[in-house]
Amino acid sequence: MKTRRQKGKRGEAEVAKLLSEWLGIKLRRAPMSGAMSGYPSDIITDSEANLAKFPFLVEVKYQEGWDITSFIVGNDTILRNWLTQLETEQTRLNKPIRMLFFRKNRFPWFVAIPIALLSQHVLEKLTPRVHYRNYIIIPFSVLEKFKPEEVFDV
């Protein structure tokens, strides 16, 4: 049986690969789950040269125990706690774009992004989507259909 730590590491590696392919820069998982060990994010660049190309604070959660239906009705403690953690880290680290990636077994990767950071052009085309507080939640497979420079309005 896989431990939660192994599952978390695997999830971080998967997201690093997804973002690397989407952004066109080499990314990797931060040692010891990112911000907990002094890194700015669960996902980091492979070099100082790529820092300007990666203005993201990325939190990755590969866990069971959440239900997408409860997100839709706005009643989910797990998601609220994850977003609070992300917002706290963003305030501390001053990274302009924060993203929460999450999934559980037999589900795709979802990403939660503050609505205010998305360009209106892309926001109108993002479906399916769920609004939760001031975030939009979508499958990453929907987001990656757009070029990164089209997506964010920062």
Question: Tens of pLDDT along 10-44?
Answer: 999 999 999 999 999 999 998 876 555 567 789 98
- 8-state DSSP, 30: P
Are residues 154 and 55 in contact, defined by beta-carbon separation less than 8 angstroms?
yes
What confidence tens digit (pLDDT) does each residue in 51-85 have?
Answer: 777 888 999 999 888 887 777 776 678 888 899 88
Alpha-carbon dihedral sign for residues 108, 94, 30, 152: positive
What confidence tens digit (pLDDT) does each residue in 83-141 have?
Answer: 988 888 887 777 788 999 999 999 999 999 999 999 999 999 988 888 888 999 999 99
Other residues' Cβ atoms within 10 Å of the Cβ of residue 141: 12
Are residues 100 and 61 in contact, defined by beta-carbon separation less than 8 angstroms?
yes
- Domains of the chain as residue ranges with CATH: 4-151 (3.40.1350)
Are residues 112 and 83 in contact, defined by beta-carbon separation less than 8 angstroms?
yes
Question: For strand 56-62 and strand 97-103, is the pairing parallel, antiparallel, or unpaired?
Answer: parallel
DSSP 85-148: HHHHHHHHHT-SEEEEEEE-TTS--EEEEEGGGB-HHHHTT--S-EEETTEEEEEHHHHTTS-H
pTM recorded for the entire structure: 0.89
Instruction: Residue 93: name the closest of 48, 34, 148 by CA.
Output: 34
The DSSP H or E segment spanning 60 is: strand 56-62
- 8-state DSSP, 32: T
The DSSP H or E segment spanning 74 is: none
